[in-house]
Structure 1
């Protein structure tokens, strides 16, 4: 597969990090840097970093992928995650139950490229709030009777996770959106 500018830049950063850590001497760094900047394929780039350890972010992502899914049960009185700070795992399952469930990602900082949210609206529904700059892929959800309301924008900022939504709307439906006016004011006045 042909390499893009972004692919080459990523390898250049890994080579710079390896040189800064003392894994590459200056001559070897210069030679690999030149080869990275002129690489045509992914195979050319992979050969330049094959003997280097995986970057720390990749190790953290692999560890996150191994964590068991977080399960949120709406039950009779409902359940909510957020708007306080919390750590989002790679997979979350939310059941609306009778009281409803809310997942508020407004204050979540995640290094994951993707977060899988399996939502089941049940009777009272599931509401998911994602920050501006995050995007959602809702193609994997069955709207059921309650339906799916997607009020997010497709404008995804670099380095932000994609919310991959699956599951079913059930009777209560699934609603995914960005923060409303009231929530934005609260975020502005209370950034903690």
Structure 2
């Protein structure tokens, strides 16, 4: 908070957005877990004054404190992950399984089919060919799991017969980060299911645990 931002002064929408953006960055850096991020984000949008905003980012590194001005329109980190030709456009499992994970480029449309089998489509370390991609999952007596990183907008549109698509990720309250891609999960499940999860990578979780340990040691 600068000298001209007295605690009792009313905060603007731009001030709240700047704090929200810092929280998103902190989560991406592993400084906040999903639960902490959600709690602080909720407090940010409820804050009425600078005095209420200031404590929300007090324990975060430099640049965390609010100052007037618009929030950045897009995240540089996301901009660097969007673009390039897709490296794999289909996956098939017939009484077997498949995986798409690690460093790969997701095309505008990815088609996956499983018959009495299963598969995992992990987007946490992936690049994205475009800002909006479609993951089309068709499973018969099988299952699939789609994993997306925090901050990505998810729209689940698939339907099932004696099966279904997990839509909880659309209702978890996780804020979409500026510039992040949109993932549409669609398709059909018969006697099977398609799960959709929002998770950090192991490296991000490890970093988060290290940060927590360091804070605890410092008291």
Higher relative contact order (CA 8 A, sep 6+): 2
Normalising by structure 2, we get a TM-score of 0.50
Q: From 150, 165, 170, give the equivalent of 1:148.
A: 165
What is the rounded CA distance, in whole Å, between the counterparts of 2:155 and 2:132 in structure 1?
10
Q: Which runs of 5+ in 1 are unaligned?
A: 1-56
What is the rounded CA distance, in whole Å, between the counterparts of 2:147 and 2:179 in structure 1?
18
Matches within 5 A, 1:19-30: none
Matches within 5 A, 1:31-180: 64=85, 70-82=89-101, 84-110=102-128, 112-139=130-157, 141-152=158-169, 153=172, 155-179=175-199
Checking the alignment, whether the CA contact within 8 Å between 1:111 and 1:159 is kept in structure 2 is: no
Q: CA deviation at 1:68?
A: 9.7
Normalising by structure 1, we get a TM-score of 0.56
Q: Which runs of 5+ in 2 are unaligned?
A: 1-78, 208-219
Q: CA deviation at 1:97?
A: 2.1
Q: CA deviation at 1:137?
A: 1.0
Q: Which one has the largest radius of gyration?
A: 1
- Compute the RMSD of aligned alpha carbons: 2.7
Structure 2 SS opposite 1:96:
strand
Structure 1 SS opposite 2:115:
coil
> Runs of at least 4 residues of structure 1 off by over 2 A?
183-190
Checking the alignment, whether the CA contact within 8 Å between 1:69 and 1:91 is kept in structure 2 is: no
Structure 1 SS opposite 2:202:
helix
